[in-house]
Chains A and B, each alone.
Chain A
């Protein structure tokens, strides 16, 4: 239940933001974030941004996800007869 996903702020209107999550657009609340700005990456939980991410954080996340995906692909390869 405590799952959170990275999202990018594309529009802001007070505490309400439009964010992009893996290519999809959705609304989010950014009341818990200091100085939110368009272009910021945030960690999204239950429709709320709970933490701002730096560009390095996002790059690290992408790198880890890539590693995981590659490892999964290797496993799939091995499973094939």
Chain B
């Protein structure tokens, strides 16, 4: 089906449904792609695309950034991180500001680079910031297993990995937003497999379709969700067949199981969600950076800034509804994480959404 016939089909399905429909995507790459491609402006009237907690940097709480900064100030530690984390505000400052003040922070492209730093600098502790969902967590898990094998005791991870399905469950069971369908994240699903979402249509009656990242992938996904709604037959489907199977990547899942254990996790804006995070397995405790925090001073939690990231991440408000949006809060002067990250919903609205007075 061509792109334009998908759009036409979406319109006729919307007419058939005769009511507004809200689809939520949970992937920062989808957030950006939907804006950048203009897809949002082509969607039929009544159909809206909400952004959920799909930007790993955005859902990482201030306290984690504070911990990373405290570690980076230890004279024997270098903190290695993906670039996205650099400008995320902590309680007092960001890693970028801390680096300007002399803290040791290195941006890397892959956790493999951090592992290599540990090999080359045995006298320093290399702490990798383990932030990200199931796409990224196995890559860090692999470096932990490898460090254990090579007895690289100076390689450690400050672990704040999060997992998507239980966050979706928390959103649905809170009842705060009504979601008619989920556009499920493509590359998270490449690892966990689409079976991981089966409980959602079964328990909540909400369709789930795993989507690729091109505009046509996303349009077809929305069409598939609308079709499920008209058929009143919610189920899990895979649009992104190029990358995703029902079972996922067995080897990456095995790495996750060996390196980590499930734990409760604190999400910015969503609070603590049971069994939605990964902690380093006790067998690999020697590679956990958390014990290095003992005795380090941490700043008090930030006083309220007026940032409404939490509600944005839950899909309760859109960024223009935040009084600070485009005023005090811009990408150059971000107040909250959702404006910092290149995949943040506020940054996407700032860059692409039409300016409304």
Contacts and interface: CB of A to CB of B under 8 A. Distances in A.
B139 A47 contact: yes
Contacts of A50: 135, 138, 187, 190-191, 243, 249, 252
B112 A32 contact: no
Interface string B41-68: 0000000000000011100000000000
Interface residue SS majority, chain A:
mixed
A1 interface: yes
Nearest to A43: B243
Interface hub of B84, B135, B185 (most chain A Cβ within 10 A): B135
Contacts of B139: 29, 45-48
B217 A2 contact: no
B187 A64 contact: no
Interface residues of A, number: 27
B255 A32 contact: yes
A34 to B, nearest CB: 7
A3 B215 CA distance: 15
Contacts, number: 98
B251 A43 contact: no
Contact of A31 (B109, B110, B142, B187): B142
B185 A2 contact: yes
Given A32-B249, A60-B242, A46 B190 contact: no
Residue from B28, B56, B111, B243 with most neighbouring chain A CB atoms (10 Å) = B243
Nearest to A31: B142
Contacts of A68: 37, 214-215
B109 A47 contact: yes
Interface in A1-24: 1-4
Contact of B136 (A1, A53, A61): A1
Interface in B110-140: 110-113, 131-133, 135-136, 138-139
Q: Across chains A and B, which 8 residue pairs bring their CB atoms closest together, nearest first? A: A47-B110, A2-B135, A57-B242, A64-B214, A2-B187, A32-B252, A32-B251, A48-B139
